[in-house]
Structure 1
């Protein structure tokens, strides 16, 4: 009897350790025009109490929001919308960089060159769009508000999910 209970307990721990971790994900998002100092505590409390969010923090040096979440309970798209709505940025393009904190051997780097960007809002909208593309793991830009030609979006991607054809489609879409 004791042996059976002990085996059940160890099986439970095994499942908890290996299966539950499969849905744990981490994201770092950097927004433009945001100062968290006035409402940091309330914002982090709001995020930590949201369904599917395990932890939330703000890196004051980089001005990034860092969120650990359970992707089986909340999608990245919904999580991003929750953050944007709370910050009052749901109608204003403001995502300037992100990192999904993925590390595997299939991560590759590439650059999407935008030949002629009409404005900074279009660029931020492109980065926000990349945020929810499955397989795009991080993105940031070298945009400097002076030169709107040949602006680079530096991305990392999982080559088992994103192929060359998809990269070409993204480049064409952003330059169309």
Structure 2
């Protein structure tokens, strides 16, 4: 079984847990709702993939056209390393969330956390930790990927 946690910048989720559990391949869903919606899903990755889970969740929440993911963890095992960086002067919160959705689709990246705060919109300086697969990429490639996304 695989596991995925998504942190989404919303607090509305009525009925979402039951909907996700109804998807073929999903065995367990845990939702916490503090400042953001944190969804942890245990699933059979031979029946449903991360992209499908993301799309189903965002469609259910009516967020498919609005970037809203602010963190994720794919719980990958293997030779992974954390890369910590600070990004100065994001143009807006949507650029950050769009970047995180792109990073989520990258198979060499296992997790991303940020110190983003919707209340203060701290886009002037954002600290980010990216966990990546050392066997397939390195910190220079991660930095290049981030810069390409931001350009």
TM-score (norm 2): 0.86
Counterpart position of 2:84: 111
1:28 aligned to 2:1? no
Whole-angstrom CA distance in 1 between matches of 2:20 and 2:123:
35
Report deviation, 1:161: 2.5
Counterpart position of 1:166: 141
Counterpart position of 2:24: 51
1:69-108 alignment runs, 5 A limit: 69-104=43-78, 106-108=79-81
Larger deviation, residues 45-54 vs 78-87: 45-54
Whole-angstrom CA distance in 2 between matches of 1:50 and 1:175:
34
Q: How many residues align?
A: 148
Q: Is the 8 A contact 1:113 1:171 kept in 2?
A: no
Report deviation, 1:172: 1.9
Report deviation, 1:143: 3.0
Q: Secondary structure at the match of 1:34?
A: coil
Whole-angstrom CA distance in 2 between matches of 1:76 and 1:150:
29
Match of 1:68 among 42, 47, 53: 42
Please tell me whether Structure 1 or Structure 2 has the larger radius of gyration of its CA atoms: 1
Report deviation, 1:43: 1.8
Q: Which runs of 5+ in 1 are unaligned?
A: 1-23
Q: Is the 8 A contact 1:136 1:162 kept in 2?
A: no
Higher RCO structure, 1 or 2 (CA under 8 Å, sep 6+): 2
Q: Is the 8 A contact 1:27 1:67 kept in 2?
A: yes
Q: Which runs of 5+ in 2 are unaligned?
A: none
Report deviation, 1:129: 1.2
TM-score (norm 1): 0.75
CA spacing shift, 1:116–1:174, aligned 2, 3 Å? farther
CA spacing shift, 1:143–1:58, aligned 2, 3 Å? closer
Q: Secondary structure at the match of 1:174?
A: helix
